[in-house]
Amino acid sequence: MRRFLIAGNWKMNTLRQSGVALAGELAAVAVHEEAGVEVLICPPYPYLLPVGERIGGSAVQLGAQDVYFESPGAFTGEIAVEMLKDCGCRYVLIGHSERRAILGETDAVINRKVRAALAGGLTVVLCVGELLAERQSGQTEEVLDRQMEGGFSGISEAEAASIVVAYEPVWAIGTGVTATPEQAESAHEHLRKWLARRYSLAFSEKTRILYGGSVKADNAETLLSQPNVDGALVGGASLKAATFVPIIEAARKLAN
């Protein structure tokens, strides 16, 4: 059975005090490593160190929200893989829809980031997902195929073992609209079949595919119970322990 991954993407939220306090609440919940559930939080860059220190000794993993593809040098405003690792990060989000849409990141740029992160020893959470217009026009699978082709370009099966895929339908991110369990499962099944064609059936069965898009306490268990949904990438609901912990608990319930 694939181990659930419940990841919190804090985006451009929290200040140092509130972020460290939240991290402490989560560390108290995830004190020990669990066989069935892994917890990850991705705070803003300025708070990686204090948050990392607060979750030290717990089972909560630390991740960053993005990374640059070059080695340290003259790249003002960017963050290198080595810097993230030095802060204690084990994971990094790459290709989030907000970076694709707002900051214009292309599949080619995302691929360079993925390859740099993997080469530096980070585990990548690669985000893919379609716009509302693309879903309405029946292009969901075409869009997912294109984004997967771009993200996995030039990556061997051994390297790809350190990639987690996150399906985030753009129309469900921060909107309060959630994909139905059937919609989520259909997209996840398609992504798993893509991985099987690209690499192997055995590889696809080991790869975790998360769902992201208005995941909340009241829909987490239903979404996570789908056969091909291996966790959640949570945005707004990850900003308070009261709304994030129930999602972790839903995964624990299903893992037992």
The predicted-structure confidence for 5-15, as pLDDT tens digits, reads as follows 999 999 999 99
In tens, the pLDDT along 17-57 reads 999 999 999 999 999 999 999 999 999 999 999 999 999 99
Active site residues: 96, 168
CATH code of domain 4-255: 3.20.20.70
Residue 118 has pLDDT above 90, yes or no: yes
- The residue assigned the tokens 């980070």 is 122
Residue 177 has pLDDT above 80, yes or no: no
Q: So what's the pLDDT on residue 18?
A: 98
The pTM of the full predicted model, rounded to 2 decimals, is 0.97
Asked if 194 and 148 touch (Cβ cutoff 8 Å), the reply is yes
Q: How far apart are CA 246 and CA 46, in angstroms?
A: 27
Tokens read off for 70: 């070059």
Q: 64: closest CA among 49, 83, 42, 47? A: 42
Asked if 27 and 61 touch (Cβ cutoff 8 Å), the reply is no
Q: So what's the pLDDT on residue 34?
A: 93
Q: So what's the pLDDT on residue 98?
A: 94
Q: So what's the pLDDT on residue 178?
A: 77
Residue 174 has pLDDT above 80, yes or no: no
Tokens read off for 65: 């929200």
Banded pLDDT at 171 (limits 50, 70, 90) = confident
In the DSSP assignment, the letter for residue 3 is P
Instruction: Give the CB-side neighbour count of residue 54, counting CA atoms within 13 A.
Output: 21
Instruction: Give the CB-side neighbour count of residue 25, counting CA atoms within 13 A.
Output: 15
In tens, the pLDDT along 137-155 reads 999 999 999 999 999 999 9
Q: So what's the pLDDT on residue 218?
A: 94
Cβ neighbours around 219 below 10 Å, total: 19
Asked if 164 and 207 touch (Cβ cutoff 8 Å), the reply is yes
How do the domains of the chain map onto residue ranges? 4-255
